[in-house]
Structure formats: structure tokens, C-alpha cells
A and B are shown apart, each in its own frame.
Chain A
Amino acid sequence: TQLLEQSPQFLSIQEGENLTVYCNSSSVFSSLQWYRQEPGEGPVLLVTVVTGGEVKKLKRLTFQFGDARKDSSLHITAAQPGDTGLYLCAGDSGAGSYQLTFGKGTKLSVIP
């Protein structure tokens, strides 16, 4: 069974601070996605990374896929209250299954 471990589980920071959240596994994934889920909403895709070592930037968010395609990180620069939400990583094993493996998520609160 493939597992994705996300850390930290909870994070509360002040507006303007930087933060990094992690998504780790002992398994290799063909691609990895990051979703953000705001309270009362469904998850929304932020990015998909597919190549080992790949770095993608989305405004103040920087996503990295590990060289071995087993882990990923999300770095937020100068966090804003609008960044508050649950950040989920989801890995695709590429084995022909319809199932993405989701992590439990990191719940981020950015305090004004």
C-alpha cells in the first residue's frame, strides 16, 4: 500500500512569514499533485509535477518534486490570509489504477 506522509499536520503563522510543507513517501510516483481545500469547499488543483527535480512556481508558491520522485515540497513566501486552507498532496503510481494516493493534508492558518 502506497502512503504519502504530509508534515506538519497543522501550521499557524503570521501574515508575511515564509513556510514549507512536505509530502514524503517510500514509493515512487509518476506524478504528484498539490490541491488546496478552503473551509466549506472542495479541493482545487494548484499544480502537477511529473519530472524528478522539477520546480514549478505559482506566484508566491514554489513546488518541488524530489529527484527520486518519492517526495515533494511546497514553499510559500510572504504568506497571506488568503493562503489559509488544507493543502493536500496526491500521488499517481502510474500503475494503471484509477486511484490517486492522497496524504492527510497540512492545515495552514495565516493570521493577519
Chain B
Amino acid sequence: ETGVTQTPRHLVMGMTNKKSLKCEQHLGHNAMYWYKQSAKKPLELMFVYSLEERVENNSVPSRFSPECPNSSHLFLHLHTLQPEDSALYLCASSQEALTGINTGELFFGEGSRLTVL
């Protein structure tokens, strides 16, 4: 298995649907992240989990709900999304949560391309 795997790779959903994105890391890392990548915008950090605890939650609408059942798995539950939520959602992991004291490497998955109709 490759380092960080994301499913599905592509998802099309209506605004009233409920769907989930899944991420699994096989690297034994302690921290996992959700990023949003939109055209012409920098990567936006959405959520950070360290040892299964959410440690950072940027101003993300409640229609996005993360879940981290264990240190290897991360989910992003999607509900009543808007067309402007269409983007590439990237999951990443790192050995320890990056805090500035500990500068490490982010390992990204291939992303889930989400289209909201």
C-alpha cells in the first residue's frame, strides 16, 4: 500500500446529498490533516488531528465534519454542500504535528476531486 490513500478519487454530489471522503495512512504517523485546494488559491488548511484529537479547526463551515477514529484513518463528512465547495480535497499526514518547533514533512494523498452540482 502506498503512503496515504484517499477514496473516492472523484465525487459528484448534489447540494442535498450526504457523502464522506476517506483517508488512510500506512506510515505510522501521529498527525493527519485535511486541506482544500481550489484554483488560483493557496492550499487551505481545514482540520488537524494529532493522536486522534482535533488540535486545529480553522473557520470551516459546519457542513464539513471531520472524524478521526484512529491514527491511521481520517474522514471528512459532507452535508448540504454549496457549488463553491467544489475543489480538490487533500489528506496529509506527518510524523508529528507541525508546530514550528518541529518542522517535518507533509505526506499527501492523491486527493479527492469533489464537484457539487
Residues in A lying within 8 Å of B, measured CB to CB: 4, 30-31, 33, 35, 40-45, 48, 50, 88, 90, 92-105
Contacts and interface: CB of A to CB of B under 8 A. Distances in A.
Interface in B46-73: 48, 50, 55-56, 58
A50 B103 contact: yes
Interface residues of B, number: 27
A99 B58 contact: yes
Closest 6 pairs between A and B when the two form their complex, measured CB to CB: A42-B108, A94-B100, A102-B43, A102-B42, A98-B56, A98-B48
A92 B90 contact: no
A57 B86 CA distance: 37
Contacts of A43: 43, 90, 106, 108
Contact of A98 (B43, B99, B109, B110): B99
Contact of A45 (B41, B100, B101, B106): B106
Given A33-B103, A42-B111, A104-B42, 11 more contacts: A30-B100, A31-B103, A42-B92, A92-B100, A92-B103, A98-B48, A98-B97, A99-B45, A99-B56, A101-B42, A104-B41
B97 to A, nearest CB: 5
